[in-house]
Structure 1
């Protein structure tokens, strides 16, 4: 089973994946592509998001990804960041670049069995400092939720589940999803 855990930054993805991996060593964990960038690409920019989109898509290829894998972020996350960046800066991505990003996302998401989304909610707040770019965080969350409704991007068959709640509730929900699929 290939699982992607999606959400904006500081939404609980790393914590959920870490907790899940401790209980499920049979799953290979793919870290956040941000951790794989060299320091020159650390800034929130279209170039860094495009690079992370490519990395996250490449690791989902059937020839590369093991049978049981859980990935922190998928290409849809970075498509959402590109959209959010456009909304916040009014800088538009060239149409051809956007279309390539959409095509790459669509193709890669076909390799995913389960997309777990951790949306920001007022009932389960994770407080972040100004160094976490709160406007980008909120805009990405909104863009991601919009993209989830587009079958041209996520396909018709991808199981998409939003998980909310505290740390224990999120882990229990993910484990229940996995147990339900293995029956």
Structure 2
């Protein structure tokens, strides 16, 4: 199966990917596009620009095109649409131009695991003033994935709890899907 773990920053996505990697040893994991691009020398602005998020969106689409059958992705194209829709320069982002490519890429996924912000928040936050954008992205992702206004038509599993509990929810979902 092709699984993507999605959510705003600092919700435990990468931790869940690590848990799933331990529990699904036959699966390949794909690091998030930000880290891939950074390793290749992409210089991100301190506060990522629309162009930075579009570069990550394009890489996420390419990752889906190139990946093997049994894989867990840290992020998917919808993550970057969420960030772009919550961005202060969102008017510079033409979602309609991206939708055909995003829909095509998402058809290659079997499941998106949505890791949202929980109440109380499981991740301790710094006093960086980052909370408002983080909440805006979380809200955008929940709308994009759970309400599906752009007809992405991909199965979504929203998880909560400790990292191990989240991983068990994914494994239970996979077991149910294989029946």
Residues of 1 paired with 2:155 and 2:90: CA distance? 33
Q: Counterparts of 1:88-167 in structure 2 under 5 Å?
A: 89=88, 91-94=90-93, 97-131=94-128, 133-148=130-145, 149-155=147-153, 158-167=154-163
1:60 aligns with 2:56: no
Q: Tell me the number of residue pairs that the alignment of Structure 1 and Structure 2 aligns.
A: 174
Please report how far the alpha carbon of residue 102 of structure 1 lies from its aligned counterpart in structure 2 after TM superposition.
2.4
Uncovered stretches (5+) of structure 2, i.e. residues with no partner: none
Distance 1:145 1:58, change over 3 A: same
SS of the counterpart of 2:101?
helix
Please report how far the alpha carbon of residue 152 of structure 1 lies from its aligned counterpart in structure 2 after TM superposition.
2.8
Distance 1:119 1:139, change over 3 A: same
Residues of 2 paired with 1:125 and 1:104: CA distance? 34
1:41 aligns with 2:44: yes
Q: Name 1:73's counterpart in structure 2.
A: 75
Residues of 1 paired with 2:170 and 2:11: CA distance? 15
Q: Point out 4+ residue stretches in structure 1 off by more than 4 angstroms.
A: none
SS of the counterpart of 1:50?
helix
Residues of 1 paired with 2:167 and 2:90: CA distance? 38
Distance 1:57 1:91, change over 3 A: closer
Structure-2-length-normalised TM-score: 0.89
Calculate the aligned-residue CA RMSD, in Å.
1.8
